[in-house]
């Protein structure tokens, strides 16, 4: 059965590919295309929306009624309404026709967080209203003036590294919502996604080990939840027993003004992705707190110590691109 399905799917894909070769307008299978992408008549599709179909049925009823009652004024009204609806179809087409996507700029986001995707448009000399961009079940509405403009939408991210910007649907139901004109865009553009960050314990520092803390286990303010990867020796066992969950003795990290060192080698015993995530988490925390840090990569490349934005992006990019 499964085999049959698989064969079936294969045949279907083959058929689609053949159709794609014959009809390159089938943009669902279109290869990623370089920018700028211009929406022209061969890649804009129009179909009535649900309310458009309903309106069509209504028009048919009106037509039959007007003809049956031999009421010419009603027939004229019906014709006028029908012609306006057809005009609105052309209007929907015009809303997209000639629109050009000139540039795509991806922002930065860690995997699992939405990534800001900025699209720049050339409106082709016309103001464009009520355009919709569908990306992965989310719809984003925007308008452009005659000079064009830009819009930013959120792209969901799954994994770190270079992610291809997914297929997007740009559509418009102007002016009356009776027809939807749409076009698929598969831009040849990749966005760099930073690694997923794991909020974790602060990195073990050299000063940490063997230093007696001045506060005891009772100091709840200094306790926090256990995170995967915390060293067992810092589990506050007594407090954990009282609260039925693992608690960790928090270190007073504010005391550290010296650049922190986030070393790949520190995180042994964890799998590769968790290590990357943990490092990314530390980098992010340090950057948010405005502290300087040094990142040591598995190939012993050392970045830093520095504290600025550029350093942050450099570190995150390096982590994202780790093999």
Partner 1 sequence: MNIAYASSERQALAAADERITPPPEIKDRLDLRAFDLLCLTVACVLAAHIAHLPPWLAAALSGLLLLRWLQRRTQRGQIPRLARIALVVALPVAIVTTYGSPFGRTPGSALAVGLLVLKLLESERARDARMAVGFCCFVLMSALLFTQSLPMTLLVALALLPGFACLRALQPDAQPRRYARAFAPGAWLLLAAMPLALLGFVFVPRLATPLWGAPGADNARTGVSDHMAPGDLADLLIDDSVAMRVGFDGTPPPKAERYFRGVVLWYFDGRAWVPGVAGIRNGTPQPLHAHGPVVGYDVTLEPTKRHWLFALDMPLDAGGGATLDADRTLRRDKPVDNTITYHVDSALQYVLAPELDPRLHRAALEIPQGYDPRAQALAESWRKRYGSDDAAIVRAALDLFRDGGFAYNLAAPPLGRDSIDDFLFGTKQGYCEHYAGAFTFLMRAAGVPARVVAGYHGGFWNDYAHYLLVRQSDAHAWSEVWLRGRGWVRVDPTAVVRRVISAGGGAIGSGSGDEAGNWLTGLRDRLDIVNRLWDRGVVGFNALRQSELLAPFGIPHLEWGQLAIALATGIVVILGIGMLAALRRPSVRPRDALEAAQLRLQAKLARHGCARAAHEGPRDFFARCMLALPHSRVELNALAEAYMSLRYGHSAPPAEPVRNYSRAVRAFRIRGVVK
Question: Is-contact 150 121, C-beta < 8 A?
Answer: yes
The single residue among 35, 132, 266, 292 that binds partner 1, judged by CB under 8 A, is 132
User: Does position 72 bind partner 1 by CB under 8 A?
Assistant: yes
Q: Does residue 69 bind partner 1 (CB under 8 A)?
A: yes
Parallel, antiparallel, or unpaired for β 293-296 and 260-263? parallel
CB of 118 vs partner 1, minimal distance in Å? 5
- What is the smallest separation between the CB atom of 106 and partner 1, expressed in angstroms? 8
CB of 55 to partner 1, least distance (A): 6
Nearest to partner 1 of 101, 247 (CB atom):
101
Q: Does 60 bind partner 1 (CB under 8 A)?
A: no
C-beta of 256 vs 313, nearer to partner 1: 313
Instruction: Choose between 59 and 270: whose C-beta lies nearer to partner 1.
Output: 59
Q: Is 178 in the site for partner 1 (CB under 8 A)?
A: yes
CB contact at 8 A, 62 and 74 = yes
Site residues (CB under 8 A) for partner 1, limited to 253-282: none
DSSP code of residue 214: S
CB 163 within 8 A of CB 189: no
Dihedral angle sign, alpha carbons of residues 256, 262, 266, 271? positive
Question: Which of 48, 112, 166, 177 touches partner 1 by CB under 8 A?
Answer: 177
Give DSSP secondary structure letters for 47-89: EE-HHHHHHHHHHHHHHHHHHHTT-HHHHHHHHHHHHHHHHHH
Distance, first Cα to last Cα, the chain: 38
Taking the complex as a whole, the smallest distance from the CB of residue 143 to partner 1 amounts, in Å, to 5
Which residues in the 203-242 window bind partner 1 by CB under 8 A?
A: none
**Min. distance of Cβ 186 from partner 1 in angstroms?**
20
Site map 90..109 versus partner 1, x via CB under 8 A: xx-xx--xx------xxxxx
Site residue total, partner 1 (CB under 8 A): 74
List residues bridging with 38 in a β-sheet: 100
- Quick one: which of 152, 151, 208, 141 has its CA closest to 177? 141
Of residues 261, 263, 227, the one with CA closest to residue 245 = 227
| 179 and 130 Cβ atoms separated by less than 8 Å | no
């Amino acid at each position: 059965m499964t085999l049959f399905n698989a064969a079936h799917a294969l045949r279907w894909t083959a058929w689609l590919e053949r159709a794609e070769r014959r009809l390159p307008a089938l943009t669902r299978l279109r290869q990623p295309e370089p920018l700028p992408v211009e929406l022209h008549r061969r890649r804009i599709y129009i179909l009535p929306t649900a309310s458009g179909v309903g309106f069509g049925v209504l028009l048919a009823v009106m037509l039959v009624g007007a003809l049956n009652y031999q009421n010419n004024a009603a027939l004229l009204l019906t014709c006028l309404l029908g012609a306006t609806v057809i005009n609105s179809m052309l209007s929907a087409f015009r809303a997209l026709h000639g629109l050009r996507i000139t540039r795509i700029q991806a922002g930065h986001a860690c995997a699992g967080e939405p990534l800001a995707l900025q699209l720049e448009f050339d409106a082709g000399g016309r103001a464009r209203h009520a355009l919709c961009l569908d990306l992965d079940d989310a719809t984003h509405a925007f308008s452009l003036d005659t000079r064009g403009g830009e819009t930013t939408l959120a792209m969901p991210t799954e994994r770190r590294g270079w992610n291809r910007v997914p297929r997007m649907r740009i559509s418009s139901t102007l002016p009356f919502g009776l027809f939807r004109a749409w076009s698929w865009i598969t831009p040849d553009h990749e966005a760099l996604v930073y690694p997923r960050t794991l909020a974790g314990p602060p990195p073990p520092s050299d000063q940490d080990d063997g230093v007696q803390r001045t506060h005891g286990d009772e100091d709840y303010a200094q306790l926090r939840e256990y995170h995967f990867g915390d060293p067992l020796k810092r589990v506050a066992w007594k407090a954990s027993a009282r609260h039925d969950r693992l608690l960790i003795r928090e270190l007073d990290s504010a005391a550290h003004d010296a650049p922190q060192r986030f070393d790949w080698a520190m995180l042994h015993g964890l799998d590769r992705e968790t290590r990357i995530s943990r490092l990314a988490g530390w980098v992010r925390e340090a950057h948010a707190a405005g502290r300087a840090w040094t990142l040591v990569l598995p190939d012993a490349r050392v970045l830093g110590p520095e504290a600025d934005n550029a350093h942050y992006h450099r570190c995150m990019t390096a982590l994202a691109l780790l093999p």
